[in-house]
Amino acid sequence: MQPTTSNRTLVAILGGGLFSALGVGLFAFILPLVSLDERVSGAWIGTAFAGYYLAKLLVSPLSGLAADRFGPRRVLIAATCAGCLVPLAYFAVPSLMTLYAIQICLGLVSGLVRPVGLAALGGSGSGPALSRRFAVHAALFSGATFAGPILGGLLYQGGTMEPVLLGLVLCLGLALAATGLLPAGTATTRPREEEPAGNPRPSREKTFALLLAIGGRSLGIGLLTAFYPIVLASALGRHGPVVAAVYAVPGLATFLGLALSGRFTHRAPHMDRIVLGMLLSACGLFALGECTRLWQFVTFGTLMGFGSALSIPASMFLASTLTRRQGAIFGAANLASGLGFLFGPLLGGLIIARLHSPLPALQAAAVLGAFCCLPMLAVVFREQFHWGRGMVRTAVVCLGILFAALMTAGLSPNLGLDRPERDLYRFTDVAMGTVVNLTLEAQSREGASLAARRAMTAMRALQQDFDHRNPRGSVGRINRAAGQSWVKPSPRTFSLLTRALELSRATNGVFDPTVGALTTSPFYYAMDESVARAKSGLVDYRLVLLDRPGARVRLKKRGMALDLGGIAKGTIVDAAVELLQKQGIRAGIVEAGGDFRCFGDRQWRVGVRHPRTSAVFQTIPIRERSVCGSGDYQQFVDAGDGADGQRHHHIIDPSTLDSAHESIGVTVIADTAELADGLATTLFIMGPARGTEFLKRYSPDSAAIWFLPDRTVAYTDNFPH
């Protein structure tokens, strides 16, 4: 291959890979956050990412074979061209399901671009020069892994997907332009004369060991990609740029590690470097499962990144030496990687469902990744350290026992909790589109764990029944039959809707569940005001008909819809508390996304956060009561420039069908979580003047604090100071 042609190949492969990875990275980071905003459970998020990795898994080996047969140029141009067009589907059908479909299609694109690009690099040279090319490729890919989430976080600051998708299209368009530079005669099969003389054919054992190690590493990365944003949002708060920056630390560390370690690129790497790097990454991932503070996430994320800097280019180079047919070997490597990426999110979803925390899932993936390095470690012991078979077998067995012990400890029922003091246990899980924390006082950890699992199962079941996004749930069925027929919902839904309408009457429509005619549309708060005007005749709680003897519901007009989001979270929290008490839990806190219900003969101290700074504004003592908040900081779009720019957010004033602007945040203390949740929504819309008078009449024992647009604070007289 001539030098000029070789340079064009290098530029085309590196540029195409960089921009495609950047686009896929920015989209993959945002998707879990959008899913949280839309109240999708952790299992659904894991399934969506599993679909992405399944698509990569299916297409990777075929893409390598196609590149060997037809050349890489056609395959890469077709993949990047399709990647440019797929995101446009969202502009025609703006829904979460469309985003998931785009994610799966991007899996197909990635499954074509990465292995074919690596195969083209593998066919472009040999020896130290090829090692340098793989190192540069890995460095650029890691840079994209770091920059993608940062770019995605910036594009998603307004809370809408359109800028994110346009950024994705732009990145893949640049990838297509770079791919067009690839010479037409580029091949992925090395000429026989380029093989080093006397180079023995690598053993099947070495090939198997490499592919298994790659699969184990990918399992951890896949699980981390799906659930790490949720872990960070739970620990650090849901602040897009901060979460994005911490999420990107492993990628940045990999990039810097490759850039600062020029010695990796000037000689052929040994297998010990691959094993060392993968084990360092596994240690970092395991430690992330214990992290709660920013510096801890940064430290161990950096360790993961440096491990990748050691292992990724070395494993690429080793793979390229295993056969002349670069497409076949890199297709097999990406098949192994795809299996790991497929099973990682699925494994995470299963562990979260059992242990109610994503943290043990990170640790389980780390241990499995270390397990998968054992065959390669055996080869290193034998070939590079010249150990005998008996010593190798003993060392591998001992390490296997150690890893098994770590796995057993990580997946034991009590690891998903924390014990800050005697008889007090803490569990974490994902439900209702947010992180749920259960702090339970019980006689034993086994009893607390069983009660927590049952409570989380009940919460998810109620969420499905109350959620308008579930077409088979009670609210979904009522909405589908709007203007047509009566629907018999579940008893709990009928009871909740009855109480919600009573609150609507008491507030004269300030609280109105029929605002769902607008809010059931994705990103409704960012839509043109003409959409709201068109829905105005459909928002009126008096158009909801109840057949009390038959426990049936009917919406009078077509296009009407119920959205119980302003009260249902509190109802679900109350139901969880009721179930926990029936199981013998003496006291505890059920907290979902910042809303609390404290129960039992125990006093708790609860922090009230400022809606703009997220710092704890005030700490209040709570016993046998609930604390719920409502604010404009969860889902919003900032409009206008400067301090006077209005924020369009998800809390809609039914009288205007626009975002309410009397408050920026409200926290309410009430006897039940349902009452506190409903009042928080109502008082946010009313503001302190009307809200204080209403609260005195409707629920004088409840208390509230308002955070106002001018950064002042208003209290009811009975709010604890």
Calpha distance 82→87 (Å, rounded): 9
| Higher pLDDT among residues 334 and 474, named by residue | 474
pLDDT above 70: residue 421: no
Per the prediction, the chain carries an average pLDDT of 81
Indicate the pLDDT class of residue 198, thresholds 50, 70 and 90. very low
Q: At 324, which amino acid appears?
A: R
Residue 413 pLDDT > 60? no
Give tens-digit pLDDT for 475-520: 999 999 999 999 999 999 999 999 999 999 999 999 999 988 877 7
Segment among 122-131, 214-223, 227-236, 673-682 with least mean pLDDT: 122-131
Instruction: Using the predicted structure, report yes or no on whether residue 345 has a pLDDT greater than 50.
Output: yes
Residue 11 burial (CB count, 10 A): 13
The pair of three-digit structure tokens given for residue 470, joined into one six-digit string: 């579930």
Write out pLDDT tens, residues 262-310.
544 455 557 888 999 999 999 999 999 888 888 899 999 999 989 988 8
pLDDT of residue 457 exceeding 60: yes
pLDDT at 177: 92
Q: What CA–CA distance (Å, rounded) separates 578 from 231?
A: 28
Confidence of residue 127 (pLDDT cuts 50, 70, 90): low
| Radius of gyration from C-alpha coordinates of the chain | 28
Q: What are phi and psi of 518, to 5 degrees?
A: -100, -45
pLDDT category, 641, cuts 50, 70, 90? very low
Q: Are 361 and 43 in contact (CB under 8 A)?
A: no
CB 86 within 8 A of CB 102: yes
pLDDT at 215 over 60: yes
Q: Are 104 and 28 in contact (CB under 8 A)?
A: no
- pLDDT(197) > 50: no
- Reply yes or no on whether the pLDDT at 35 is more than 70: no
Nearest to 291 by CA among 220, 225, 232: 232
Cβ 301 vs Cβ 249: under 8 Å: yes
Q: What is the pLDDT of residues 541-565, one digit of tens each?
A: 999 999 999 999 999 998 899 999 8
CB atoms within 10 A of CB 131: 22
Of all residues in the chain, the percent with pLDDT exceeding 90 is: 31
Whether the per-residue pLDDT at 186 is higher than 80: the answer is no
Which residues in 511-530 are b (16+ Cβ under 10 Å) and which e? bbbbbbbbbbbbbbbbbeee
Residues in the chain: 721
pLDDT of amino acid 419: 43
Whole-angstrom distance, CA of residue 552 vs CA of residue 333:
57
Residue 11 identity: V
CA-nearest of 523, 503, 586, 494 to 156 is 523
First vs last C-alpha separation in the chain? 77
Q: Kindly list the structural domains of the chain, giving each domain's residue range(s) and its CATH number in brackets, ordered by start.
A: 3-183+204-410 (1.20.1250.20), 474-555 (1.10.3980.10), 603-715 (3.10.520.10)
CA distance 602 to 487: 43
Q: What is the mean pLDDT of residues 194-219?
A: 74
Q: Which amino acid is at 467?
A: D
- Give the pTM: 0.62
Residue 191: per-residue pLDDT? 58
Task: Count the Cβ atoms, other than its own, within 10 Å of residue 549.
Answer: 6
Measured CA distances, 44 to 209, 430, 445 (Å):
33, 11, 28
Q: What confidence category does residue 196 fall into, taking pLDDT thresholds of 50, 70 and 90? A: very low
Q: What is the amino acid identity at position 410?
A: G
pLDDT score of 522: 54
Bigger pLDDT: 350 or 535? 350
Most confident of 404-413, 519-528, 669-678: 669-678
DSSP labels, 336-386: HHHHHHHHHHHHHHHHHHHHS-SHHHHHHHHHHHHHHTHHHHHHHHHHTS-
Average pLDDT over residues 562-575: 93
**Residue 253's pLDDT is what?**
87
The answer to whether residues 520 and 563 touch, using CB atoms and an 8 Å cutoff, is yes
pLDDT (tens digit per residue) in 581-625: 999 998 999 998 878 899 998 888 887 877 766 667 888 889 999
Helix axes 326-355, 42-70, angle to 10 degrees: 170
